[in-house]
Amino acid sequence: MTYRAPVKDMLFCMKELAGLDDVAKIPGFEEAGMETAQAVLEECAKFNEGVVAPLNVEGDRAPSTFQDGQVITTAGFKEAFKQFGEGGWQGLQHPVEFGGQGLPKTIGAACIEMINSANLSFALCPLLTDGAIEALLTAGTPEQQATYLPKMISGEWTGTMNLTEPQAGSDLALVRTRAEPQADGSYKIFGTKIFITYGEHDMAKNIVHLVLARVAGAPEGVKGISLFIVPKFMVNADGSLGSRNDAHCVSIEHKLGIKASPTAVLQFGDHGGAVGTLIGQENRGLEYMFIMMNAARYAVGVQGIGVAERAYQKAVQYARDRVQSRPVDGSLPGSAPIIHHPDVKRMLMTMRAYNEGCRALAIVAAAAFDAAHHHPDAEVRKQNQAFYEFMVPLVKGYSTEMSLEVTNLGVQVHGGMGFIEETGAAQYYRDAKILTIYEGTTAIQANDLVGRKTARDGGQTAKAIAKQIEATEAALAKSDSVAARAMRKRLSAAREAFVQVVDFIAANTRANPNAAFAGSVPYLMLGGNLMAGWQMARALLVAEEQLAKGSGDDAFLQAKVATARFYADHILSKVPATRDAIVEGADSVTALALEAF
């Protein structure tokens, strides 16, 4: 089974839901309309379907290896990454002045989904490089930008994030890696970092490590952390590579999934100290690292959509081919492909609806990012920034949790064959698990949603979004179709439940924090469900309108209406029950005495 990029659905989301035509009116994006989007997506699909996707199974069976400080990636990865860089894919969303293409995130998001559908392990290298590029664009000096960005954007060099240490997982206050100032303005870095994705590999000439460390005398906790550039090879004044830095890989991890992606343990300063240069100001490292983190969190959400789409496609193909049992309605005289069975259809529709809802949510959020960063009107930028920031933990948390459900269903559709590695269904399930963990677990995304995104402004941003949803309900009320009525009923109930939960969270985050945070992950899941369902409602309205006019692909539009209605009936309908668990069930989360566990 080969991967086929869902280009038609991506373009529909961009045009009809994300308003790409409006994005293309923003200064600098004038050439990034639908014609450009289609050309880019078709070319991206060709590359990922033909070059990257065929390496996915091999990467799982013959993952990266470590020997004598060197990491050798899966056969074919190095050549594919060279093509990736030469094709301009690393620079797609990055500034033209550093060699990028300067395209909006609205288009870039679809390309990120494709590469992750094709090969999650391979896609992690450019994902981390994107994050490092964002940090340098924001906080790097002109000299640092000129030295590193062109080579990273071209794909010649790659980037990493170095946060985690053996004793400091998500609690970065515990970071011990130290930085000692030198007379020439540089720093010597000493310490160990773990879980460093593509911390060592053979696909690029240099690796640009961005490392969190403490300068001597810095304040305790997170306020005393600084961020440093520590390249694998030093860079000479003329841009050529110099001596090997004292930053070495000492091992790579053996993992449940994403096996081809080398997860390195890096040792800095075993031989006199790794040379680092400060990014921005001392003690502001966490602030800069969160630029990388937010870019990466959004991208990990899109990873969830990517792997879920691949699992769905594989499950559909299997369900068409696998013959088992006579259909319950007697429509065929003998055994038939399992896609005829109602429960298999339910599973496939669940997978499809989740994928389409989360894809729409991610692309709409990307358009908000583009407006927030590039729109000439300050008020428009402010509104879109608030919307995008609210969406990031939902895109990351909800899309990755849904990818676990979708890839799990993918195994189930295959039955016993899904449990056998040869079919490939299990790889997607194993690969998906990490997505709910790295770049901040689902609980950390939920804490962000509760504390920074809801309680901080008393739920005002959340309620402003709810008002927009109400407007969609009003539009649905004008349609007398069965699908629109069903969607309006479910969307209205979900929105009301959401607002009640927002009030509960805003009232309790300080007054009764255990109650608020006991429901934090359910709140995130409720919010993600509603926002994806809202986009499906908008899609339903567009599809019905185009069907009435006869102005589109009827089969595609009819499928969109059917999928949206399924989302309403089977997924969006869960929201009120989640509201009950949050608002009325907080006490039971903390009722059991600790010694009773």
Residues annotated as catalytic are 439
Dig out the tokens for 272 from the structure: 């006199």
Question: Minimal CA–CA distance to 406: which of 350, 466, 356, 362?
Answer: 350
Q: What angle do CA 96, 306, 464 make, to 5 degrees?
A: 75
From the centroid of its chain, how far is CA 96?
24
Rounded-to-integer distance, Cα 501 and Cα 582, Å: 7
Rounded-to-integer distance, Cα 475 and Cα 165, Å: 51
In this structure, what is the dihedral angle of CA atoms 141, 142, 143, 147, given to the nearest 10 degrees?
A: 100
Rounded-to-integer distance, Cα 189 and Cα 273, Å: 5
Other C-beta atoms within 10 Å of 437: how many?
A: 14
How many Cα atoms sit within 13 Å of 251 on the Cβ side?
5
- Helix 520-549, helix 442-450: angle, nearest 10: 90
Question: Minimal CA–CA distance to 442: which of 212, 170, 198?
Answer: 170
Task: Please name the helix (run of DSSP H) or strand (run of DSSP E) that holds residue 214, with its range, or none.
Answer: strand 206-215
Dig out the tokens for 175 from the structure: 């970071």
Please say whether the beta carbons of 360 and 13 come within 8 A: yes
For the chain, state the CA radius of gyration.
24
Please say whether the beta carbons of 112 and 298 come within 8 A: no
Rounded-to-integer distance, Cα 502 and Cα 516, Å: 10
Please say whether the beta carbons of 199 and 264 come within 8 A: yes
What burial letters (b/e) apply to 145-156, b meaning 16+ CB within 10 Å?
bebbbbbbbbbe
In the chain, the amino acid numbered 4 is R
DSSP 48: I
Rounded-to-integer distance, Cα 447 and Cα 429, Å: 26
